[in-house]
Structure 1
Amino acid sequence: MRIVLGVGGGIAAYKVASLLRLFTEAGHHVTVIPTEAATRFVGTATWEALSGNPVSNSVFDDVHQVNHVRLGHEADLVVIAPATADLLAKAATGQAGDLLTNTLLMAHGPVLFAPAMHTEMWQHPATRANVETLRARGAAVLEPASGRLTGSDSGPGRLPEPDAIFDAAMALVHGQTDFQLPLAGKTVTISAGGTREPLDPVRFLGNRSSGKQGVALAVAARNAGATVRLLAAHMEVPPPPGVEVVNVETALQLREAALAAAADSDVVIMSAAVADFRPAEISDTKIKKRDDTADPVITLVRNPDILQELVERRNQGVTGPATDGQLIVGFAAETGDQHGDVRAYAEAKLQRKGCDLLVVNHVGSDKVFGKDTNSVVILARSGSEPQEASGTKADVSAAIISRIGFELNQVSPRA
């Protein structure tokens, strides 16, 4: 497939190099046309090296090939990323001041715009009108992702991740039009890792959670366009870029962080492995092992049920009007015993907790924790058919986020 990749003049241009590689590694022939401003961010040599083709933004280069006409005619797909406010305006008004805008006017195939700009620019009535004009003419315009922007601001306006743009482009070529980022404009809070409950300054009660599944969920939610807040307990993997990180250690700290984060979250995913119990007392000094003393007796007390409290506060309206329609997702790491199997325990937990979705996996010393693969069943309180997902933790996360996007577009199942 012959693709024209237009690059606008924004700081997000550096991320488009990864998009270009995705196109070329998939076997497509890509011609990159950067605007003059774009070359201030990423030079022509980079685009030529990654595409394997000469790069120009002038209608006067290779005039004998009539590039300002030929490129648009020959392209099976035109992708503009980042589509800045200026470039959207020029495309909407039919300007033809350089090679890229000429190519847009000549394009016969599908055209995809991936916007990136500051929030106020994206939300300005002029930009919104330009977007609607382009969509009315048949162009596809993605919603930008939300998150950290240039400087200290955050909000909608981030360039969607390269793999999300690639997927949208491939879907567009195959005639699919339902590829808009499913969580664009949503705020998603995700807990990850395992809590640790201190016994003394040295020891703690913990669990085997690595945080891999929670981090994969954060990546999937970010790629789906959401503003992501990661409540990170102990993790063996680093948090992904492009998400807000709140570090916690104990179940009580996680509770405090989760209740605060839920106040402005459209979705809360409690995937962390939270300790059910904590020591009733924490020694200020290391507990010594001495021959002349008896073995220590450690008394445990229950930790609060964070998931159930989040559901109760939402249902009672305590969290606030900003969370009307909030979706809450729980995780259940279960083992069967003589009293019941994994599914039976999970079904009971779903009814007891009252969350909207419960992601269930069968755990053990050689299963799930620390592994790169997972197999889960997604149960819904609405009573819909259980959904199975398996593969890498990235694959499982993509299925969970896709299900969440579906649920958000349904009538709320809550009483």
Structure 2
Amino acid sequence: MPGVKQCRENYLPIRNLTECKRASQYFAKRHDLPYILNVGAGGEDFACIVTNVFADRRVNAMQWKSRVRLTGVTAIKARDSMVCKLVKYVQGETKAKECPAGYATITDTDVCEKAAGALGLTYNAAKNGHAYKSWAQVCYVNYLHWTTNKAQSWSTVQVNSNHYENSAFLCQINGAAASTESVVKSNFILSYAYKKFCPLGYVEIKNPAVCKKASEALVIKYDASKNGDSSYKYIPTCFATYIDNYTNKPSKWSTAQVNSGHSDQSRFICALNKQRNLPRIIIGRMGVDACPDGYRTITNANACTKAAQTLAVTYKAAYNGGSGSQAVCYVSYLDWATEKPKAGSSTAQVNSDHGESGGYICHRRSTAAPTRTPVKKPKKIYTKNPVPNPTRAPVPKPTRAPVPKPTRAPVPKPTR
């Protein structure tokens, strides 16, 4: 998405010159773009981008306009789009029994072991088999935590058919999806199951007309008769009802409406945030010990104090400390459904004892804009019309009419 400084889920930004050149070769073949314009050194705060991308994410294939380049993240402009790559292995959605778009299930035991290692999970070959004949044998992780969907100390990875409700498939990138693609975000998505908020980069839908359009895009029946405000606890928003408890997907009974009565069996319908300006300070996902891509953790107490003030969360210096992993700035006791701070109980602190109900406070990455690579000769500036301004017609300045100077009338000399 043009102007957005992060990649969507299961994608990673390209931050080095080698991969950016490979991406430029891909776009050169597919969109007839030049090989590369100018680049930076690369690093954590750099990103490979395509310049001059339309709002609907079509690359402008005119050679004199769009370019592939490596630049500082802060130098990304409103018409620039980050080039992102799929990660090789991912963990699918809990209970979904399928892999995300661009990924395929794993059935080979050796590949399953590699995927488990890449994701930091424990592989147990002794549990491979075909214990449940009605389902296919696939690579999956079991005993996921029911709130965080993360593996627990007793979770294992195996290739078997007994993948029940609290498990998730491990997936590998499709061969067809291995080529680098410019990130494309869907205009409408379903939010997390059992949660009452939209993912980063998306917003809740309040307008019934937009809700209807979104439901049609997601192939969910829209029922305007169910619009209303039936719950005092929440505000009306667009959501889908009767989510299948086994697959976490809409069922044949599901309908979409704008109402406040969204139960645990519903999922918010969210729209892409067209504002593009991501917040400077956010609270990460509850129970996830990391910040989303494009954001960094906060470890300084003073910075944590300021961030807490921005989020209107009470900062408690007395709670700083801990003896576990790295001490970071986080908010405690988040509401389970909304993952927002609870009034009177949630506090911010720099501590290592950030439990399952806490969320990291994250700061958007920022760097100074990089300078261009020094060159001996100035590079040609590409204008909208790559031709010189037209000159006047190449003709000499006109002269006066080419006639001789008139003489006096030819009369004879008078006689005496």
Normalising by structure 1, report the TM-score. 0.23
| Structure with a larger share of its residues in helix | 1
Structure whose alpha-carbon radius of gyration is higher? 2
Higher relative contact order (CA 8 A, sep 6+): 2
